Chains A and B, each alone.
Chain A
Amino acid sequence: MLTRRTFLESSAATALATRLFAAPAGSNKPNAELESLGAVALNEAKKQKATYCDIRIIRYRRQFVNVRLNPERGTGKTLEVPNVADTGSFGFGVRVIADGAWGFAASPFVTKDEIARITREAITVARANAVLQSRPLVLAPVGAYRDRWQTPHESDPFAVPLEQKLELIRSAAAEVKKGKGVFAAGCNLSFRSEDKYFASSEGSSIQQLNLQTYGQVNGTAVDMKRGISRSRRFQPPQVTAGYEYIPIMNLVENAQRVREEVIEHLNAPAVTAGKKDLVLLPSHLWLTIHESLGHSTELDRALGYEANYAGTSFLTPDKLGKERVGSEIVNVWGDRTNDRGLATTAYDDDGVKTTKFPIIEKGIFKHYQTIRDQASLIGEKESRGCCYADSWSSVPFQRMPNVWLEPGKQGTSLDDLISGVEDGILIDGDGSFSIDQQRYNFQFGGDAFWAIKGGKKQGMVSQVAYQSRTTDFWQACDLIAGPSYWQQWGAANDGKGEPGQINSVSHGCSPARFRQINVIVTD
């Protein structure tokens, strides 16, 4: 029988990838073998007279552990259904500029011969594209770096015994299932590592390890007689961190709350439609920030690069520095450097050192998110480091940094927000979300809703969604809780681009209040 020891041995990843990404303890230089492989692409590109080349060699590992507790058909006995998966992916992608056009090719066969062949494929693609090049490519200048960086962490989540993870999620799910009337409960943990080597013809050689940690606990209640089912979920902030973050999630403690709230949700009356004040918790507001402010301030969208899919933006370049998006208290940052942010890294996929920059200052739109080949199109001299590809087989393009809302004044509390509301709703957690292709009109649901009457939080209501326009909504923001309430939540699967790619991104905020927003009843 295999033991945990043999499991750890077999989990030591595949031999080639492990060897390539290994480095002497304490080294801040990339692995020499990776550098040698990267040089193959750079030399081949030079030989073929490409004017730019970069290569990314990447190993991914993902682990997912889930348990679902639900009644067995016919007997009502509770079944514990586990799902355990540990997956890997390894390959490389080469990006070139030849005859003034981009070309890209990728392969899972990481050998010197294949790297040279794929580099030539990328050049063939670029030269073919050059016949329909609409404007010459101009790359913003970048430094040449030789560096090694990793997500700050104390404990490698892949080294933690699986039994420990299974026991935690089983305990949390069991806490939810204890509730009389809870139909099903579930809990999961997942971990992702991205071990990435980047080399460019502009002199960079960078190796980075990015570690992400996710968790979730949920419950579902069903009333067969009334034909109603409702759910409640606690999805702690997804972060870049090691296993040391798991205890901070407080999954079991929050499971107890989920147990009580899913039953309350099942019996909650429908909201009454109309204009209401909203108090939005960070667990909910992060998604509103993401959709309405995060995506609308992407330069590629504003210029039309996403016109066929994700759309453009109401924030066109002529509005830069002038457009009032929110009230005076709305200050929003783009940031790829903050602690535990899902988009936090030291260098982007253009090889640009990442940074923090203002997007909205006192309600006015100040800066776009940019990458090297688009910065010059709005007269900027440097990229803001927002380039990312979700796989070795994907083309790098502009993706969102962590976009966060500055907290309000020190001492402003959540109670201060609620006490100023005569007729409103407090919303926790994210739910349904939909926004138009220029980011004006949106409609958001949530995971749990409480009525606020006469400045006090009351019982739960259900079937809530609110509709607004981005600028109307953010100009209706009249109070934000202070720094002690600031929390960072995020998305692991933000989609954009053709072919579609995903991105992980965090959005921090404190609870905030919005006046007279249109609330509707969903059926």
Chain B
Amino acid sequence: MMTKEQAKKLIDKALSFSTFPECNINLNSSESASIRFALNGITTSGYTIEQSMTISSAKDGQTGNTSIDEFDDNSIREAVKRTEALALISPPNPERVPPLGPQKYAPYENFAESTAKARNDVMIPHVRAIIEGAKAQGLVAAGFFEREASAVATATKQGNFGFGRQTDASLSTTIRTQDGSSSGWASQPAVRIDQIDGAAIGKTAIDKCVRWKNPKRLDPGKYTVVLEPTAVGDLIQLLGFNFQARSAEEGRSFLSKPGGGTLVGEKLFPESITLHSDPFNSLYSGLPWGGGGLPAAPMAWIEKGVVKNLFYDRYWAAKAGKAPTPFPFQMVLDGGDKSLSEMIASVERGLLVTRFWYIRNLNPKTVQFTGLTRDGLFLIENGKVTSPVVNFRFNESPVRLLQNTIAMGKPVRVRGGEGQGMIAPPLVVKEFPFTSISDAV
């Protein structure tokens, strides 16, 4: 993995080949190791080194882009030449923004050597714990354990240079019965691989699988739901893209005001809802800059139920006469202090959801999504989990979900089956619409 000095040298070399007034370079170098298991054994496993350099050259708004993963002098020279040739053929881009000069990046790095170095000898004991736990109960384990370390640099011909390193790891497992009649799932993402606890993850998934046997069929309809943190993250992370100022002002967003304007400043959610980005949260492996090379910064999107900010990229901010804002990465939904069991105890009749699956947008304007429950759905009666329930399909918007939230628990970092996840609490939500039964296990 490249060092700061190596990154600077490569970037300086690339910029020395540039003949245009503008040249932006982004470098990425990563090393990853992973183990995939199924049927109580390892199926595939790998160790991979990757690197890439993306180059964007511009003159008078004419812009060309390329990326390469060969870093010899000739390859870099040819790549810079190619971007310039592409730019000259392209019409000017009226939305091209001026290159960034030197930026002040916070001295932030969440990098764990133990994660960066971990190979099979560190990872296999966790996988073994899960498999042995499953075997002991006559169950079948599948899962995935990965860790990545990366070094990233950003630079412009105008003198900006940033370098950052990050590590991340994630272990997830799905435990199934031999006959495929029940399934349970658990996962843990962490910046530090030594925080991951394979035995605990396995135990949670095994427990879900054992408890989900012989699920009963309930009628589709609106239910009060207790969403475990992963289920919350599965849906709420999808809101991030919907805070774009541009689509809101152009009438294409749930934050567009009918007749024109946006809903910034309006109280759309209960007082308890605060959704923000936190690039320096120690649970995340963040970089000191965000999209476009601007310094990373915390940003509130919803504060105490009020829509607080929209995402303005540099072009749209200049047009709107506003300061640019960071993209809604590294999202955090604030919660409360209640435990999951306390939240379950507060529900008279409802459903406990482990996670969602195959979530797809139905209507970008209303942010309505469809998807399914998976790997553990349970009926709650009089504050207690009483029986497993056959899976459902839902059609719901995370906007409506937050509006219908009536209780919140303690937030944790989660990563489900899709997307990068977020920091999310468990929630109690009323009137969650399940539209059809899914027999899948």
Contact = CB atoms under 8 A, between A and B. Distances in A.
A182 to B, nearest CB: 13
B357 A437 contact: yes
A101 B48 contact: no
A480 to B, nearest CB: 26
Given A80-B94, A102-B43, A308-B143, A222 B252 contact: yes
Interface of A: 1-2, 4, 6-7, 10-11, 14-17, 72-74, 79-91, 93, 101-109, 121-122, 124-126, 128-129, 131-135, 161-163, 166, 170, 183, 220, 222-229, 303-309, 311-312, 314, 316, 393, 395, 397, 432-441, 443, 445, 463, 465, 467, 469, 498-499, 518, 520, 522-523
Nearest to B371: A434
Given A11-B85, A102-B44, A393-B50, A308 B38 contact: yes
A158 B12 CA distance: 30
A6 B393 CA distance: 56
A95 to B, nearest CB: 9
A132 B124 contact: yes
Nearest to A133: B41
Contacts of B252: 220, 222, 229
A107 B146 CA distance: 17
Nearest to B120: A128
29 contacts: A1-B88, A11-B82, A74-B319, A81-B93, A81-B94, A86-B86, A90-B70, A102-B43, A105-B46, A125-B45, A125-B47, A134-B42, A161-B89, A220-B252, A223-B251, A229-B252, A303-B39, A305-B38, A308-B144, A311-B357, A312-B176, A393-B50, A395-B44, A434-B360, A434-B372, A436-B374, A436-B391, A439-B440, A441-B391
Nearest to B148: A499
B260 interface: yes
Contact of B45 (A81, A104, A433): A104
A133 B42 contact: yes
Nearest to A4: B89
A337 to B, nearest CB: 27
Interface stretch (B73-81, B153-161, B227-235, B401-409): B73-81
Interface string B385-402: 000000101010000000
B441 interface: yes
Given A79-B94, A128-B121, A86 B82 contact: yes
B166 interface: no
A219 to B, nearest CB: 13
B236 interface: no
A397 B144 CA distance: 15
Q: What are the nearest 7 A-B pairs in CB distance?
A: A134-B41, A7-B85, A128-B120, A436-B440, A438-B440, A441-B438, A307-B142
Interface of B: 32, 34-52, 54, 63-70, 72, 74-75, 78-79, 81-82, 84-91, 93-95, 119-121, 124, 127-128, 131, 140, 142-144, 146, 172-174, 176, 180, 183, 185, 246, 249-252, 256, 258-260, 316, 319-320, 357-366, 368, 370-372, 374, 391, 393, 395, 417, 435-441
B78 A441 contact: no
Contacts of A104: 44-47
A227 B441 contact: no
B94 A72 contact: yes
Given A81-B93, A103-B45, A432 B370 contact: yes
Contacts of A522: 362-363, 368, 395
Contact of A499 (B41, B146, B363): B146
B440 A437 contact: yes
B440 A311 contact: yes
A223 B260 CA distance: 10
Given A81-B93, A435-B358, A106 B49 contact: yes
Contacts of B140: 304, 307
B47 A105 contact: yes
B82 A128 contact: no
A229 B49 contact: no
Contacts of B372: 434, 436-437, 441
